[in-house]
């Protein structure tokens, strides 16, 4: 007798991971401002022949539009030497009399319309729209390591692994960026140190840092996971004022990351740590009140000083100054003011 054979068939069901949530940015103009920066340098032991000042030209973005930059004396516009070609004002002021051999000053009036932004979840039954796209140059740049955002370093890579900050399969840019935000917010304190080095490989083990350090670390983790991210260097749209006995000139650094449906999403880790008392950080992640003027995007601007060759500056929230001539900077002093008013 032959044993009968039984054929069994199996159906393999592939269960796909749920699609990532989709978001959009709601935005509206909230104020038009004029911010006037005045900056002067006095060197009693200098005999200058020419002064060179450099400051950024703010760019248009979802957070600021209708921008004007008016300088005294007249400046020339140059591009920084990175692929972004960020615009800069370069002042060349000849020392035409004995007073100008020891003292030089510039004034810049920035005018801009500032916009609030709020990240919102798109309901599953609503169309999200065609979204946004970076140019290939922008995408490559905002994923690349830089002098400051050195995400390929062994220290940063180890820190990412230790904190479980590898992007998961099907984890959307917003959800991953929120997870990184929450980890850094929980692990870091805020401390300001003007002299501190702000490289991601230094910051990742620090436990405390300032707005620039927090933004650098955040960008490093996102870029390492394929999410374009950048820093916003600028000043609050509020006049300088005394704080704890010294003047605060409203310098600040914020973050943004890119999502293909929402575009550039605002993040402020400093506010999250020092002021936002909500459990989920709703006032510092995906939220911008429209009270900040971005002077330049990302650190490490490289440009020609004319007399001293090409230099790289991590930030330009206040002017950089060079002088050609005789004498020394011994006893030199600088003075600045930052006055902001609302325009009709």
Mean pLDDT of 186-192: 92
CA–CA gap between residue 23 and residue 238 (Å, rounded): 31
CA–CA gap between residue 48 and residue 329 (Å, rounded): 11
Give the tens place of pLDDT for each residue, 100-124. Answer: 999 999 999 999 999 999 999 998 8
Give the tens place of pLDDT for each residue, 52-103. Answer: 999 999 999 999 999 999 999 999 999 999 999 999 999 999 999 999 999 9
Q: What percent of the chain has pLDDT over 90?
A: 86
Asked if the bond preceding 73 is cis, omega within 30° of 0, the reply is yes
Per the structure block, which two tokens stand in for 324? 């050609």
Element (H, E) at 41: strand 23-42
Decide: helix, strand or coil at residue 14. coil
Mean pLDDT of 263-269: 98
286 half-sphere exposure, CB direction, 13 A CA radius: 23
Most confident residue range from 196-200, 204-208, 236-240: 236-240
CA–CA gap between residue 104 and residue 42 (Å, rounded): 7
What is the DSSP secondary-structure string of 63-99? Answer: SEEEEEEEEES--EEEE-SSTT--EEEEEEEE--SHH
The pLDDT, as a whole number, for residue 239 is 97
CA–CA gap between residue 71 and residue 54 (Å, rounded): 11
Decide: helix, strand or coil at residue 234. strand
Comparing C-alpha atoms, which of 56, 51, 102 is closest to residue 73? 51
Give the tens place of pLDDT for each residue, 144-155. Answer: 999 999 999 999
Decide: helix, strand or coil at residue 343. strand
When the pLDDT of each residue in the chain is averaged and rounded to a whole number, the result is 92
* pLDDT at 10 > cutoff 90: no
Residue 19 pLDDT grade (very low, low, confident, very high; cuts 50, 70, 90)? low
Q: Which residues pair with 79 in a beta bridge?
A: 87
In 260-332 the beta strands, taken as DSSP E runs, fall at: 263-267, 287-288, 292-297, 301-304, 310-313, 320-327
DSSP type of residue 238 = S
* pLDDT at 272 > cutoff 90: yes
Give residues with Cβ within 8 angstroms of 98, minimum separation 6: none
* pLDDT at 7 > cutoff 50: no
Q: In what order do the strands lie in the sheet with 76-79?
A: 76-79, 87-94, 46-56, 320-327
Q: Which residues pair with 189 in a beta bridge?
A: 208
Residue 282 pLDDT grade (very low, low, confident, very high; cuts 50, 70, 90)? very high
* pLDDT at 132 > cutoff 50: yes
Top-confidence residue, 125 or 201: 201
* pLDDT at 242 > cutoff 70: yes
* pLDDT at 320 > cutoff 70: yes
* pLDDT at 311 > cutoff 50: yes
Mean pLDDT of 19-40: 94
Comparing C-alpha atoms, which of 67, 70, 112 is closest to residue 91? 70
Q: How far is CA 125 from the centre of its chain?
A: 34
* pLDDT at 327 > cutoff 60: yes
Q: Which domains does the chain have, with CATH numbers?
A: 25-112+300-343 (no CATH), 129-297 (3.10.620.30)
Q: How many other C-beta atoms lie within 10 A of the C-beta of residue 265?
A: 24
């Amino acid at each position: 007798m032959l044993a009968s054979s039984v054929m069994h068939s199996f159906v393999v069901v592939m269960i796909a991971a749920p699609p990532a949530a989709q978001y959009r940015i709601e935005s509206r103009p909230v104020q038009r401002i004029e911010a006037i920066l005045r900056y002067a340098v006095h060197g009693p032991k200098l005999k200058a022949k020419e002064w060179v000042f450099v400051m950024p030209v703010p760019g248009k973005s979802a957070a600021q539009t209708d921008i004007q930059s008016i300088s005294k004396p007249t400046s020339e516009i140059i591009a920084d030497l990175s692929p972004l070609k960020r615009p800069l004002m370069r002042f060349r002021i000849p020392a035409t009399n004995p007073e100008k051999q020891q003292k030089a000053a510039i004034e810049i009036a920035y005018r801009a319309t500032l916009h609030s932004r709020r990240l919102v979840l798109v309901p599953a039954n609503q169309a999200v729209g065609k979204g946004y796209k970076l140019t290939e140059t922008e995408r490559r740049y905002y994923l690349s390591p830089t002098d400051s955002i050195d995400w390929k370093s062994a220290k940063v890579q180890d820190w990412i692994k230790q904190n479980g900050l590898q992007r998961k399969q099907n984890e959307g840019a917003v959800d991953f960026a929120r997870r990184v935000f929450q980890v850094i917010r929980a692990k870091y304190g805020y401390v300001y140190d003007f002299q501190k080095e702000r490289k991601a490989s230094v910051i990742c083990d620090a436990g405390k840092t300032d707005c620039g350090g927090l933004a650098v670390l955040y960008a490093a983790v996102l870029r390492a996971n394929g999410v374009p991210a950048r820093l916003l260097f600028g000043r609050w749209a509020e006049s300088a004022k005394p704080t704890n006995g010294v003047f605060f000139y409203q310098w600040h650094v914020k973050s943004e990351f890119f999502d293909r449906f929402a575009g550039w999403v605002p993040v402020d880790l400093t506010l999250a740590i020092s002021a936002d008392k909500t459990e989920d950080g709703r006032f510092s992640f995906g939220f911008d009140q429209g009270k900040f003027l971005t002077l330049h995007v990302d650190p490490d601007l490289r440009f020609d000083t004319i007399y001293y060759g090409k230099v790289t500056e991590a930030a330009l929230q206040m002017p950089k100054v060079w002088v050609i001539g005789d004498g020394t900077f011994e006893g030199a002093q600088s003075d600045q003011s930052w006055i902001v008013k609302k325009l009709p």
